[in-house]
Amino acid sequence: MNISRCWILPPSFISRQSRSCFQDYSLAKGELKFRGELVEPRAIKKTALFTVEGEKDDICAVGQTLAAQELCSGIRPYRKRHHMQPGVGHFGVFSGKKWEGQIYPLLKNTILASD
């Protein structure tokens, strides 16, 4: 599967969401709204959660994706998994050799285990 085909979003949307989540911390502060409704990550219950970070990420600081583990408090702990990938930056998390050989297999196993 070519993951780049899944990311067809207008640049203005990506910019607005990035600013809201990662600079204003609106999700973490419980202030993020979507279509006028408050987003409540604790309401998520029936799914697995796999978060991944790159050690050398210069866009999302280390710890930002890990925070989703706490925000999604409705998901049982055994259904949560976090992975810190050594030696990759922001784009290396979802592309390149480490994605293919180390991160993707973990994601795939998480998905298969959640069925």
User: Model-level pTM?
Assistant: 0.76
Least confident of 22-26, 85-89, 92-96: 22-26
Is it the case that residue 69 has pLDDT exceeding 90?
yes
Quick check: 49 and 72 in contact, CB under 8 A? yes
Q: Indicate the range of 2-16, 43-57, 80-94 predicted with least confidence.
A: 2-16
pLDDT score recorded for residue 32: 85
DSSP letters, the chain, are --GGGG----HHHHHHHHIIIIIS-TTTTT--EETTEEP-GGG--SS-EEEEEETT-SSS-TTTTTHHHHH-TTS-GGGEEEEEETT--TGGGSSSHHIIIIIHHHHHHHHHHH-
